[in-house]
Amino acid sequence: MPDPTLSEAIQEAYAHTPTDAIILHTLELRHPDFRDDAGNPTAIRVVRDQVDLTARLEADAPLNAGQMVTFIAMGFELDSPGDRGHPGQRQPRDRAASGCGR
């Protein structure tokens, strides 16, 4: 089911964003099988842009809290969750497999 609190937060953020600001959409994918070379849990992070983005994660992030991480540039589209509450549909355009299977 869609989270109305999240929807309200996003609407408020957009309402208070300056009109000349560029909004970069990021996506973090986590799965128990995603591990780094040392066997630690990791995530696949992408940004909807043409260049990679290095950004600090929130202090309460599930992985790498408060740390600077890299989001890999990738073209993608996400639809809003439907009435049934299923996740948005992902339509990767390029570099979709980057970082997978390592």
Residue 13 forms part of a structural domain? no
Residue 86 forms part of a structural domain? yes
Q: Which domain holds residue 60?
A: 24-96
Residue 15 forms part of a structural domain? no
Please report, rounded to a whole number, the percentage of residues in the chain having pLDDT higher than 90: 49
For the chain, how many structural domains are there in total? Answer: 1
Residue 1 forms part of a structural domain? no
The mean predicted confidence, pLDDT, of the chain is 81
Mean pLDDT value of segment 55-81: 91
Return all residues near 76 (Cβ < 8 A) that are at least 6 apart: 27, 46, 48, 90, 91, 92, 93, 96
Residue 88 has pLDDT above 70, yes or no: no
Q: What is the token pair recorded at 88?
A: 């948005």
Mean pLDDT value of segment 49-73: 96
Residue 5 forms part of a structural domain? no
Residue 43 forms part of a structural domain? yes
Residue 32 has pLDDT above 50, yes or no: yes
Residue 71 forms part of a structural domain? yes
Residue 6 forms part of a structural domain? no
Check: CB of residue 75 under 8 Å from CB of residue 85: no
